[in-house]
Amino acid sequence: QVQLVESGGGLVQPGGSLRLSCAASGIIFSRYAMSWYRQAPGNQRELVAAISSGGSTNYADSVKGRFTISRDSAKNTVYLQMNSLKPEDTAVYYCKAQAATLYYWGQGTQVTVSD
């Protein structure tokens, strides 16, 4: 059974930081590209950051220079370090694991950036 379990979301003030974690089980983690998506109310789900099985990364323009994605194969975990958070970063953040046409989603974690 495949599970992706996100954690680390919460309420933070503008300019603050959070680190999201996504722990994977039931997959051969090293074979999967991992990514973070987010969905704000009324908006479509959008790609935030991705990291390939080989460690190559890419980011949405809106988060470049502020967010960093990384992976730890020993822990089967992918991280999203989010700095300089803005109110427009408020959304539910989802972890995704993908290998070719096979993919899995986590349940999401809420991030709220507000005073």
Residues, the chain, total? 115
> How high is the pLDDT of residue 82?
98
CA 93/CA 75 separation, integer angstroms: 20
Strand partners, 81: 19, 68
CA 107/CA 61 separation, integer angstroms: 25
Could you tell me the end-to-end alpha-carbon distance of the chain, in angstroms, rounded to an integer? 40
Percent of residues, the chain, with pLDDT higher than 90: 100
Phi and psi at 68, nearest 5°, equal: -135, 125
Percent of residues, the chain, with pLDDT higher than 70: 100
Dihedral sign of CA atoms 88, 92, 98, 101 in order: negative
pLDDT in tens, 62-115: 999 999 999 999 999 999 999 999 999 999 999 999 999 999 999 999 999 999
Q: Which residues contact 19 (CB under 8 A, 6 or more apart)?
A: 8, 79, 80, 81, 82
